[in-house]
Amino acid sequence: METLFFLIITLVAIISAILVVTCKNPINSALSLIMTFFCLATYYVMLDAPFMAAVQVMVYAGAIMVLMVFTIMLLNIRVDSSKKHSHKLVLGSIIGFFTLVNTLFILFKSKAAMPNGPYSGEVIKKLGHTELVGKEIFTNFLLPFEITSILLLVAIVGAVILAKKKI
């Protein structure tokens, strides 16, 4: 049952990912990208990580893509009029191929292939995924978390300075 569900979701994810690059209309591309993000969120649910799924939908599909759509609307781009370039296709395929090799390598050969850390699937199920994420972020990973916050703050201040004529 779960395998069947996984296959259906994967099919939808792949089709919408292809539509992202093939759609002429940028808004339709953006919609397909939202669909892909949504499918990724479904994977998180199947991996017993509901918090990640909710955040995926909220941040990527909800916030970031709204800004993208907002920009496309403001610039009012209707149809992509740029001509097709064959060298882009070749470059894209090469990058895609190496990404695939990289992913396969990580899946089967690297450390990630052997999940033997302190948090195995059973531990996560017992303690609760959301609680665990919260606890780890505010104890063991406090420094990276704070550095990320400062980075985001700097980005916000930078955006305000760029956008505002008089400060």
Partner 1 sequence: MGIEILGLPLMYYIAMVVKVLVAFVFVLLTVAYATYAERKIIGHMQVRLGPMRTGWHGLLQPIADGVKLFFKEEIIPSQASTFAFLIAPLIALIPAFITFAVIPFGGTIEIAGYKIPLQVAAYYDTAAGQVFDVNVGVLYVLAMSSLGVYGIVLAGWASNSKYSLMGGLRASAQMISYELSAGLSIIAVFMLSGTLSLTKIVELQSGLGGFEWYIFKQPLAAFIFFICSLAEINRTPFDLPEAETELVSGFCTEYSSMKYAMFFMAEYANMVTVCALTATLFLGGWNGPLATAIPLLGPVYFVAKVYFLMFACMWIRATLPRYRYDQLMHLGWKVFIPVALLNIVVTGIIGFFI
Which residue lies nearer to partner 1 by CB, 101 or 137?
137
Which residue lies nearer to partner 1 by CB, 63 or 91?
63
Q: Which two tokens stand for residue 121?
A: 């699937």
Which residue lies nearer to partner 1 by CB, 11 or 58?
58
User: Could you tell me where the DSSP H helices lie in 23-141?
Assistant: 26-46, 50-55, 65-75, 86-108, 121-127, 129-138
We find the least distance from the C-beta atom of residue 76 to partner 1, in angstroms, to be: 8
Q: Does residue 66 touch partner 1 according to CB under 8 A?
A: yes
Count of residues in contact with partner 1, rule CB under 8 A: 27
Q: Does residue 35 touch partner 1 according to CB under 8 A?
A: no
Using the 8-state DSSP alphabet, how is residue 164 labeled? -
Q: Does residue 6 touch partner 1 according to CB under 8 A?
A: no
Inter-residue contact 59 to 33 (CB < 8 Å): no
Q: Which two tokens stand for residue 68?
A: 């993208």
Inter-residue contact 2 to 47 (CB < 8 Å): no
Inter-residue contact 19 to 29 (CB < 8 Å): yes
Q: Does residue 22 touch partner 1 according to CB under 8 A?
A: no
Q: Does residue 128 touch partner 1 according to CB under 8 A?
A: yes
Instruction: Report the residue from 3, 4, 74, 108 that binds partner 1 according to the rule CB under 8 A.
Output: 74
SS3 24: coil
Residue type, 133: V
Residues that bind partner 1 in the complex, under the rule CB under 8 A: 1, 25, 27-28, 31, 34, 50-51, 53-55, 57-58, 61-63, 66-67, 69-70, 72-74, 76, 78, 128, 130
